[in-house]
Structure 1
Amino acid sequence: MTRTLILGGTGWLGREIAEQLVANGDDVTCLARGESGAVPSGVTFIRSDRRTPDAYVLVAGIAWDEIIELAYEADLVTGALEALADCAQHWTLVSSVSVYASNAEAGADEEAVVVEAVDFDDYAQAKVAAERVTTEAVGDHLLIARPGLIVGPGDTSDRFSYWVARLALASHEAVLLPEVRDRSVQFIDVRDLAAWLIGAGHRGLTGIYNAVGSERDLSTVLLAAAQVAGHTGNLISVDDEWLIEHSVNYWAGRRSLPLWLPRSDSAFAQRSRDRFVAAGGTERNLHEVLEDVLADERKRGLDRERRSGLTREEENLLLDEIARQLASV
């Protein structure tokens, strides 16, 4: 039986890792504040504020087969390393492809240049700093996983789930799309990522891996989402300039079209996954992911308030403006 400590475990990815480990029969402990979500069933849960002096007193000195670090904030990462680096046979740090300095080179691998870690309030720079300090403390039994966009049931970012939910909500009505020509999207299902992290830890895998899915045409993904959603309305695609002029944002956040990237950053969704696949990385069928996400979205409400995307009212106003411009030509 493998003894695993997850630093976190009540958030989305951490909970998925914990639940899969428990299902495998492993001994799992989660150390967290417990404010990100429900505590997974079957784990030993230690409620702790990692910024307090005695945060790790109940887990230090134990011989852990695996420690999984999900945080990136400098004080959390360094505090855990100071208390626990000598306790783990294997250490996994979940980082991000956001660490790379350039998103202009399609197919770039793990050797690509990363950003300078100067401002630890910046997400990418903080991730780089976390990688470096963990490498120094843990040495040659460290796995660094750099996922890109993580998707699947339970996602609260709305970056991927927006589309299948919106298409289902619109039903026979029109939906606004960005220009999809020559645009890519790259994602990994949270369940596949968790399974790979667990297997890699059990095998003692070390090194740096882009834990990403296949590069897919954005048009293919959106058409598959429309099929899964049963959408029968028109798909209205407009160019980048028009969207920007009308205050629609790229990628994520309020008043955005999720997954839509500036062409200058297109390689963000074109990272090499060769090393990941060689190390056993897999991905499930696109339609299966979309069907599971849609089922989850229906439970949570297709018309709920979202962290990313356009509201249906905002979208309809933009569609009306497009119709007026076309009528005046």
Structure 2
Amino acid sequence: MRILVLGGTAFLSAEIAKQALALGHDVTCLARGSQANPPDGVEWVRGDRALGSAAYEDVNSSWDEVVEVSRDPVQARDALEALGSGARHWTFVSSCSVYADHSVPGADENAALLEPLPEGQAGTPETYGESKSAIESLTLTLVGQKAHIVRAGLIGGPGDGSDRYGYWPARFAANTGPVLVPNIPDDATQIIDVRDLAGWIIQGAEMGLTGTYNALGDVVPFSEYISESSRAALGQEKQPGADARIPLGATVRADEDWLVEQGVDYWAGPDSLPLWLPPDHDGFQSRSNQAAKALGMTLRPWQETLRDALDYERSLGLERERKAGLSRETERRLVGLLREQQA
């Protein structure tokens, strides 16, 4: 197939290009390349999508597959109008952030969506869900009969620049004192490996798959994820009969209300505890992935993703400044304060 990836230099889009090339497809990436280059072996067309329709002049031909990962509805419309008629199949990588309600575990693709961002309004980080919802709507309007909409969840694995999924195994591996952990043993985590997501996207293109599907990992309780993070970091194997709720590393567990009182943030960002969600988000990391799995989406063991994420964290440096998680100074202060209050 002749595949055009709108992007190809960052995390997911780069993995899509890499895997498609390895499978023997003819891959072209349209990208600025301001921070990274596409994988070796693809054809790289330099283009800045901020320029509007002019950005697509050098790729305005027939494609078997176009892969769109944008979060900006203005740029997405330009691409659809310039390339949609010449594409046999179109994949848009959306997000489960498009859903209006995150409180119901097990919800599927029929759940209600956020109102799309108004026509002509550029997306921002604060309107991420509305932006993706708007692009879904545009895609269905302009190329809906040949569109595969992929609603991804949290993506993990090597190359992840968000610093979320890898925070916990990296924190145990750093081994710099007790690890502050939110006391949420039964809360869900749901991560899809970037390699599995890319594989599903390419498989959908090869199948000519159309429709909308959640592309998510399987649900793993937070306690199991934390325990496995500790084991992976410390090089220990799980013992038969071991309680998954008891991490092997030294931990200090804090109640959610106390963490909120201390100004610790949910989910992501500086001085946050990644994968810890705010109230009424019980379904945010526990949506149904059954429709995609029934059509062939395959998932590697989540423990493999965790270990590969840890290897990637180690390659970057365990003591680097992070986009998500607690700084060592903040964590030590909070652990000390909690122990004083519990004494």
Does the CA-based 8 Å contact 1:192-1:283 persist in structure 2? yes
Matches within 5 A, 1:72-111: 72-111=71-110
**Is residue 230 of structure 2 the alignment partner of residue 226 of structure 1?**
yes
Matches within 5 A, 1:175-190: 175-190=179-194
How far is the alpha carbon of 1:36 from its aligned partner? Answer: 4.2
Does the CA-based 8 Å contact 1:10-1:35 persist in structure 2? no
How far is the alpha carbon of 1:139 from its aligned partner? Answer: 2.3
SS of the residue 1:316 aligns to: helix
Task: Give the match for residue 196 of structure 2.
Answer: 192
How many residues are aligned here?
A: 324
Alpha-carbon distance between aligned partners in 2 of 1:245 and 1:46, rounded to the nearest angstrom? 50
**Is residue 48 of structure 2 the alignment partner of residue 49 of structure 1?**
yes
Q: 1:233 to 1:139 in 2, by over 3 A?
A: closer
SS of the residue 2:284 aligns to: helix
Task: Give the match for residue 13 of structure 2.
Answer: 14
Task: Give the match for residue 203 of structure 1.
Answer: 207
SS of the residue 2:36 aligns to: coil
Alpha-carbon distance between aligned partners in 1 of 2:294 and 2:179, rounded to the nearest angstrom? 39
Structure 2's unaligned 5+ residue stretches are: 236-247
Alpha-carbon distance between aligned partners in 2 of 1:84 and 1:182, rounded to the nearest angstrom? 46
How far is the alpha carbon of 1:37 from its aligned partner? Answer: 2.1
Alpha-carbon distance between aligned partners in 2 of 1:284 and 1:47, rounded to the nearest angstrom? 34
Alpha-carbon distance between aligned partners in 1 of 2:113 and 2:288, rounded to the nearest angstrom? 15
Q: Report the residue type matching 1:98 in the other structure.
A: S
Alpha-carbon distance between aligned partners in 1 of 2:282 and 2:16, rounded to the nearest angstrom? 30
Q: 1:118 to 1:68 in 2, by over 3 A?
A: closer
**Is residue 39 of structure 2 the alignment partner of residue 40 of structure 1?**
yes
Structure 1's unaligned 5+ residue stretches are: none
Choose the corresponding residue for 1:265, options 272, 281, 297: 281
Q: Report the residue type matching 1:225 in the other structure.
A: S
Q: 1:36 to 1:68 in 2, by over 3 A?
A: farther
How far is the alpha carbon of 1:202 from its aligned partner? Answer: 0.6
Q: Report the residue type matching 2:30 in the other structure.
A: L
Task: Give the match for residue 126 of structure 1.
Answer: 131
Alpha-carbon distance between aligned partners in 1 of 2:117 and 2:40, rounded to the nearest angstrom? 40
Alpha-carbon distance between aligned partners in 1 of 2:144 and 2:18, rounded to the nearest angstrom? 28
Q: Report the residue type matching 1:157 in the other structure.
A: S
Alpha-carbon distance between aligned partners in 1 of 2:40 and 2:134, rounded to the nearest angstrom? 33
SS of the residue 1:317 aligns to: helix
SS of the residue 2:215 aligns to: coil
Per mean C-alpha deviation after superposition, the further-off stretch among 113-122 and 209-218 is 113-122
Q: Report the residue type matching 1:224 in the other structure.
A: E
Choose the corresponding residue for 2:152, options 138, 147, 151: 147
Task: Give the match for residue 311 of structure 1.
Answer: 327
How far is the alpha carbon of 1:303 from its aligned partner? Answer: 0.6
Task: Give the match for residue 26 of structure 2.
Answer: 27
How far is the alpha carbon of 1:294 from its aligned partner? Answer: 1.1
SS of the residue 2:102 aligns to: coil
Choose the corresponding residue for 1:279, options 270, 280, 295: 295
Alignment RMSD (CA, Å):
1.2
**Is residue 116 of structure 2 the alignment partner of residue 117 of structure 1?**
yes
Q: 1:165 to 1:49 in 2, by over 3 A?
A: same
SS of the residue 1:228 aligns to: helix
How far is the alpha carbon of 1:95 from its aligned partner? Answer: 0.2
Alpha-carbon distance between aligned partners in 1 of 2:152 and 2:17, rounded to the nearest angstrom? 18
Alpha-carbon distance between aligned partners in 1 of 2:161 and 2:129, rounded to the nearest angstrom? 20
Q: Report the residue type matching 2:175 in the other structure.
A: A
Task: Give the match for residue 339 of structure 2.
Answer: 323
Does the CA-based 8 Å contact 1:176-1:235 persist in structure 2? yes
After TM superposition, what 4+ stretches of structure 1 lie above 4 angstroms from structure 2?
none
Alpha-carbon distance between aligned partners in 1 of 2:111 and 2:302, rounded to the nearest angstrom? 28
